[in-house]
Amino acid sequence: MDLGLAGKVAVVTGSRTGIGLAVCRALAAEGMRVIGASRGAMEHRIEGVEHLRSDLTEPGAVEGLIQHAVERTGSISVLVNNAGNGTIRSGSVSASDEQWASLLALNLQVAVRATRAALPHLCVDGGAIANISSINAVAPTGDIADYSASKAALCSFGKSVATEYAPQGVRVVNVLPGPVRTDLWMGPGGPAQTYAARSGTTPEEVVRRAEQEIPLGRMADPAEVADVVTFLVSPRASYVTGVDLLVDGGWSPTL
């Protein structure tokens, strides 16, 4: 199926690893020119993808990314707000004011700034924004209360923009993945290692138990989330906007 993305330009935040990297790869495979940014160097070089190293929480960084993309390519058709992170806490009120502010700056404010900077360009010929949220936006838990709240706020913001800018031909979708085999879940400080240390078991056992709760019986591969994003930002999904789409292997009905 031709998704109608060839020759268009996408900006992806948080593009170094995981879902962001997979989205860059999927969009480039459809013939898009992709410009990504993250704090670290990209894990793999991908044809058609330009990567900038930038701390997007710094003042002016996101605006500079959008300006760079426009200067390099002349236009933007797609924005993927993927930059984000999270930390396992000891309870709902255990995060400090500074930790709340830091997480909201990355998980929410970067997307707000990117959207604000990109909208004038997306309105020219119509475009699409995909916000990478989380299943925890609708299924919050005490040990990631700040993460859950930031992802819920991202969904709310996306719906506001979707409603306001629909007349200008701009669509906004929120993608809510469940557990995905990325560094965020599997790496240092992620749920697998953290819960293993707390329970005296192994990360592999934590993953096995998590997968038992998912009807499809496994965690997602980043490419599976990226394929959903790619379709949603394409003209093939031209009548889809203002929605939260769960990509969780059927896990949500069992919550």
Tell me how far CA of residue 21 lies from CA of 36, 75, 101, 165, 252, in angstroms: 9, 21, 26, 28, 25
* pLDDT band for position 255 (cuts 50, 70, 90): low
Domain with CATH 3.40.50.720 in the chain: 9-178+223-247
Residue 254 pLDDT greater than 70, yes or no = no
Which residue in 147, 165, 195, 239 is the catalytic one?
147
> For 91-122, what is each residue's pLDDT tens digit?
999 999 999 999 999 999 999 999 999 999 99
* pLDDT band for position 1 (cuts 50, 70, 90): confident
For the residues of the chain, what is the DSSP string, one character each? Answer: ---S-TT-EEEEES-SSHHHHHHHHHHHHTT-EEEEEESS--SS--TTEEEEE--TTSTTHHHHHHHHHHHHHS---EEEE--------SSTT-S-HHHHHHHHIIIIIHHHHHHHHHHHHHHHH-EEEEEE--GGGTS--GGGHHHHHHHHHHHHHHHHHHHHHGGGTEEEEEEEE-SBSSHHHHSTTSHHHHHHHHHTS-HHHHHHHHHHTSTTSSPBPHHHHHHHHHHHTSGGGTT--SEEEEESTT-GGG-
> For 6-18, what is each residue's pLDDT tens digit?
999 999 999 999 9
The stretch 73-86 carries a mean pLDDT of 96
CA atoms within 13 A on the CB side of 156: 11
Q: Is 165 a catalytic residue?
A: no
> For 149-171, what is each residue's pLDDT tens digit?
999 999 999 999 999 999 999 99
Q: Express as a percent the part of the chain with pLDDT over 70.
A: 99
Question: At a CB cut-off of 8 Å and minimum separation 6, what does 181 contact?
Answer: 219, 220, 221, 222
Query: What pTM did the predictor assign?
Result: 0.96
Please tell me the class of the 9-178+223-247 domain. alpha beta
Mean pLDDT computed over every residue of the chain: 95
